[in-house]
């Protein structure tokens, strides 16, 4: 039974436990409120990572129920091979300042980036009439896009047309079916990071009582695989597979426990709890991603709940590894004061992990970037302390087993130590690889 304890203890550390990705799940339906004044124009931008054959629908919700007015709407959409150009939270303010540039300069790219082609489309100006509230679609059919050869600011380019898609049916046949509620404004021909910029301007007002008109712009990104973005979609499969993996572990642990039920200790029950929490964690993540894929909207609090379950699982896993490492039931019949130390460390770890996890999936604001880094630092330091405690406890336990000449258990602890060393080295290697690929790389083209 000791072999099973050590095996599942190692697996609890080796199995992926952190949320993949460092930002909030990208919704497939996004909105932004705009305040329009007569004569002024406003820009609003929406980034999204999309698969090919994704369709984009643009809606305008007129929030002034008693006003009648007309505004002019026009949009441009362009791609980029670099995910950080539109998504990097540290550049969010710069991207907002570049909305007019992206709208007007289809043949140019910002000076910080270097690539030669984008996919681009700019719509003609359209009149949108708001009367006593209501919702208006961006008029027109599904538009063609062009491949544009681009250069840094100040250079001239030439444009090459893509094959036309006008007149083709949409995902649900909206082009040919007038009763359909799905009428996209543009069709995306290739996988890419896209940035949609919409320009709005009030042109005519029949009532002078309101100087400012409130319009909610809603953009829906619907791909052939649902509303999930191209960056988030692989995680749907990942969490589904991991939920099945934990289910297999739970079944295997149940069978092993039944086979050795006379020899079960309380630690075996806690290992079963870790496996069960892992299955619940992945199931919640999978349900959230599946809901986003179907509806385009996130379930309020689901990601935060999954993070808290993940933190509880990781806390129990580390507490169990510490208990096994100090030799409980092997060289120590009782834990004594060590139990209080383990519980204290576990409590602190859960609090720090919960703070870091919830902040990591919080809204992606520029001012929150440093707060997320500060929240992760104490957790990293505590992780180092826990692993140091584990390895020093393993050395002492193996020394005691060596003195007692218990070769069987000593061999098991040696394998356990080697596995933990591999886990630590793999974690460090992954950390450096992640920093190199995602932090120090200005243009990450392999973003899927």
pLDDT in tens, 225-264: 899 999 899 999 999 999 999 999 999 988 888 888 777 7
| pLDDT for 137 | 87
At how many degrees (to 10) do helices 266-295 and 2-14 cross? Answer: 30
Closest CA relative to residue 78, chosen from 111, 104, 41, 114:
104
pLDDT in tens, 177-209: 555 678 888 889 888 889 999 999 887 655 556
Tell the residue number behind the tokens 């047309």, with chain if given: 161
Looking only at the bridges linking them, the beta strands covering 54-62 and 212-222 are antiparallel
pTM exceeds 0.75, yes or no: yes
Tell the residue number behind the tokens 């995680």, with chain if given: 235
Task: Give the separation between CA 201 and CA 210, rounded to whole angstroms.
Answer: 15
Inform me whether the pLDDT recorded for 8 exceeds 60. no
Tell me the CA distances in angstroms from 364 to 73, 87, 124, 218, one per residue in order.
Answer: 28, 9, 32, 19
Helices (H), 128-232: none
- 2 Cβ contact list (under 8 Å, min separation 6): 330, 409, 412
* 281 and 306 Cβ atoms separated by less than 8 Å: yes
Looking only at the bridges linking them, the beta strands covering 192-205 and 41-50 are antiparallel
Average pLDDT value for residue range 380-384: 89
The count of other CB atoms within 10 Å of the CB of residue 69 is 21
More confident residue, 306 or 140: 306
Tell me the CA distances in angstroms from 248 to 2, 238, 255, 266, 316, one per residue in order.
Answer: 20, 15, 11, 22, 20
Task: Give the separation between CA 71 and CA 97, rounded to whole angstroms.
Answer: 23
Quickly state the pLDDT bin for 370 (edges 50, 70, 90).
low
| pLDDT for 11 | 46
| pLDDT for 236 | 93
Task: Give the separation between CA 446 and CA 113, rounded to whole angstroms.
Answer: 16
Average pLDDT value for residue range 148-156: 67
């Amino acid at each position: 039974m000791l072999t099973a304890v050590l095996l599942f203890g190692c697996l609890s550390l080796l199995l992926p436990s952190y949320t993949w990705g460092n930002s909030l799940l990208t919704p497939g339906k996004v909105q932004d409120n705009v305040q329009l004044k007569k004569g002024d124009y406003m820009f609003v931008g929406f980034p999204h990572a999309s698969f090919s054959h994704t369709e984009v629908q643009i809606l305008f919700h007129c929030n002034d129920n008693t006003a009648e007015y007309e505004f002019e709407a026009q949009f441009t959409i362009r791609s980029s091979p670099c995910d950080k150009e539109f998504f990097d939270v540290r550049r969010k303010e710069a991207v907002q300042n570049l909305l007019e540039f992206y709208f007007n300069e289809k043949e140019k790219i910002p000076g910080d980036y270097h690539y030669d082609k984008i996919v681009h489309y700019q719509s003609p100006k359209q009149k949108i009439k708001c009367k006593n509230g209501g919702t208006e679609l961006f008029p027109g059919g599904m538009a063609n896009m062009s491949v544009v050869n681009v250069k840094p600011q100040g250079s001239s380019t030439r444009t090459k047309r893509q094959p036309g898609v006008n007149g083709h049916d949409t995902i649900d046949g909206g082009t040919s079916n007038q009763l359909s509620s799905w009428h996209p404004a543009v069709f995306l021909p290739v996988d890419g990071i896209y940035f949609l910029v919409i320009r709005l301007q009030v042109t005519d007002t029949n009532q002078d009582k309101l100087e400012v008109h409130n319009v909610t712009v809603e953009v829906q990104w619907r791909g052939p695989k649902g509303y999930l973005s191209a960056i988030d979609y692989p995680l749907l499969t990942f969490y589904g597979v991991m939920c099945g993996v934990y289910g297999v572990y739970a079944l295997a642990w149940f069978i092993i426990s039944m086979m050795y039920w006379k020899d079960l200790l309380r630690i075996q029950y806690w290992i079963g709890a870790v496996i069960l929490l892992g299955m619940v964690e992945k199931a919640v993540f999978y349900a959230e991603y599946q809901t986003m894929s179907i509806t385009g909207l996130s379930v309020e609090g689901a990601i935060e709940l999954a993070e808290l379950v993940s933190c509880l699982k990781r806390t129990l896993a580390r507490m169990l590894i510490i208990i096994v490492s100090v030799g409980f039931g092997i060289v120590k019949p009782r834990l004594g004061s060590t139990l209080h130390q383990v519980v204290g460390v576990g409590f602190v770890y859960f609090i720090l992990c919960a703070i870091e996890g919830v902040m990591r999936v919080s809204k992606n604001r520029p001012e929150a970037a440093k707060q997320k880094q500060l929240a992760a630092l104490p957790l990293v330091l505590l992780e180092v302390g826990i692993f140091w405690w584990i390895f020093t406890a393993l050395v002492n336990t193996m020394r005691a087993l060596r003195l007692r000449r218990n070769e069987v258990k000593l061999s098991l602890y040696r394998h356990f130590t080697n596995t933990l060393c591999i886990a630590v080295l793999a974690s460090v290697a992954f950390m450096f690889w992640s920093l190199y690929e995602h932090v120090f790389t200005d243009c990450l083209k392999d973003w899927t």
